[in-house]
Amino acid sequence: MYASHGFLRSDIGDVDVVFHEGIYHLFHLVLPNHDFIAHAVSSDGLSWRRVKNAFFVGDPGAWDDDMLWTMHVTPDPDRPGQWRMFYTGLTRAEFGRVQRVGLARSPDLYAWTRCGAPYPLEIGGPHYESGIDEGRRWVSFRDPFFFHEPETGTRLLLAAARAKDGPVIRRGCVGLAREVAPDRFEFGPPLHRPGLYDDIEVPNLFHFHDRYYLMGSIREDTKIHYWYSDRIEGPYENFCDDVLLPHGNYAGRICRAGDRLLLFSFFSKTELLINGHEFIKRLLPPPKEIVALADGRLRLKSYRGFDGLVTARLALASTAECRMLCGNPTARAETRDDSLSLGTRSGFEAFLLPGQHDEFRLRAEMTLEGPGKTGLILRASEEGDGYYLSLDCMNGIAQMRAWGANPTPEFEHAFRYKSLQEARFRSSAHGPWQIEVVAHGTYLELSIDGYVVLSLVDDSFICGAVGFYVESATLGLCGVTLETLSRPVSEHAAEMVYTATQAPDLLAAAGAAGE
């Protein structure tokens, strides 16, 4: 997990990742000030090292002297070996109410120089809101994305924009400008206008398996959606399951790394900091690989980089290696020729694998008999406090919960029971289902039948037992393996890296210093 460490509210914002000569280059905003674009590098896409910042807000009076917003970095099509960064800027003179798109250039991805005229670009009519007296009372023209198709000579600049007419809250669209000559853009009608959302943020366009895919983040549900078309100009259609990642994952950006198409995004996590106040902490989880099914639907696969983190492997061959959490008298555990059978007739029981685990990857093939429930328990204490991963495989619903005793119990507040994330998946009636769970630091991920279903960040439980649970059902297991992963490195840095759990102490110290 990568985060923007700093005093109090320093936080990572929207991201963009470029893979070049074996190195991942991460560019990201830093919140809440939005006053510079940070740069970090990685050899594996998991642990990062900060390097020289790309650039800061402009000098007073400049068009971008207030804030810098989302950027996109691509090779410069007119200067081989060089790079362009389109970025969003705001000015103090307008109280940040007009968004414009500027350009910076670099010979090496490290040193960046702003460009003057014809930049910044301003969105205009007749297709888009272009004045502060329209619609939302600000001008939307942000989150630029440059699409270049050398084979056809197509050069498109996409952005989050708003159509000029229609219900105010439904005007969100993907704005479009064509680069008709180097650094000369002409605006046309929106590339896509769903007619449903207030905004389509951080748009992406990519050609994949003979189709064009348009991806964007929707504020209404805090999810990453996508659309498709056989032609670059559209129209863009959507599937019934058009969500790539569940709630909390946002501002997705694509990154081509060799023959793979990766998705990077941030995850928004609500934290209690001090005196009961909440704030949103944004972190960069591991990327996922985008794949296309035969019918064109997109899915995400777990990142291959976890393979390089495996340090040990346990294969469960017998139920004799398991222990029961509750001692349910109706529970039974049997070892068969090539499988394990775990069940209860009445009530709940968890069957725990040997050892205590913090960083791991668990894999198994599951089948289910009976009308009851099943799932996994992760990082569980002796009392059963831990993560409960509920799997309703019949209806295709997965839910991750943090469930355990409250350290200061008072009657109905004796326990914690928090639903962290829920998602649906396509499922067969009784399986088998291929299950994979990754727990790496505060990152938790569930894949079913090879595709990511849940992806979230939480630090309620750090270490404990791992196992499977049933309730009035029989669970069949094959090929149960538990791999130990090396500990995560959030950031390679010479200075101390503070964790979220240390933040209250830091705040208390800061408060005392100010007294």
pLDDT in tens, the chain (515 residues): 787 766 666 788 999 999 999 999 999 999 889 999 999 999 999 999 999 999 999 999 999 999 999 999 999 999 999 999 999 999 999 999 999 999 999 999 999 999 999 999 999 889 999 999 988 889 999 999 999 999 999 999 999 999 999 999 999 999 999 999 999 999 999 999 999 999 999 999 999 999 999 999 999 999 999 999 999 999 999 999 999 999 999 999 999 999 999 999 999 877 655 565 666 778 899 999 999 999 999 999 999 999 999 999 999 999 999 999 999 999 999 998 889 999 999 999 999 999 999 999 999 999 999 889 999 999 999 999 999 999 998 889 999 999 999 887 777 778 889 999 999 998 776 679 999 999 999 999 999 999 999 999 999 999 999 999 999 999 999 999 999 999 877 666 543 333 333 334 433 433 343 33
Q: Which CATH number does the domain housing residue 40 bear?
A: 2.115.10.20
Give the C-alpha separation, 51 to 39, whole Å.
6
Pairing mode, strands 465-485 and 360-369: antiparallel
Residues 289 and 352 in one domain: no
User: Does residue 498 lie within any of the structural domains?
Assistant: no
User: Does residue 345 lie within any of the structural domains?
Assistant: yes
Of the candidates 301, 332, 363, which is a domain's last residue?
A: 301
Residues 265 and 332 in one domain: no
Residues 117 and 204 in one domain: yes
Residues 293 and 315 in one domain: no
User: Does residue 6 lie within any of the structural domains?
Assistant: no
H or E segment to which residue 505 belongs? helix 503-514
Structure tokens at 416: 């914690």
Of the candidates 266, 301, 336, which is a domain's last residue?
A: 301
Residues 208 and 127 in one domain: yes
User: Does residue 372 lie within any of the structural domains?
Assistant: yes
Give the C-alpha separation, 106 to 85, whole Å.
8
- CA distances to 207, 323, 332, 433 from 342, in Å: 46, 11, 6, 16
Residue 205 — φ and ψ, nearest 5°? -130, 130
Domain count, the chain: 2
pTM, rounded to two decimals: 0.91
Q: Can you give the residue range of the structural domain that contains 86?
A: 11-301
Give the C-alpha separation, 419 to 407, whole Å.
19
User: Does residue 220 lie within any of the structural domains?
Assistant: yes
Residues 216 and 323 in one domain: no
User: Does residue 82 lie within any of the structural domains?
Assistant: yes
Residue 411, helix vs strand vs coil? helix
Q: Is 177 within 8 Å of 156 (Cβ atoms)?
A: yes
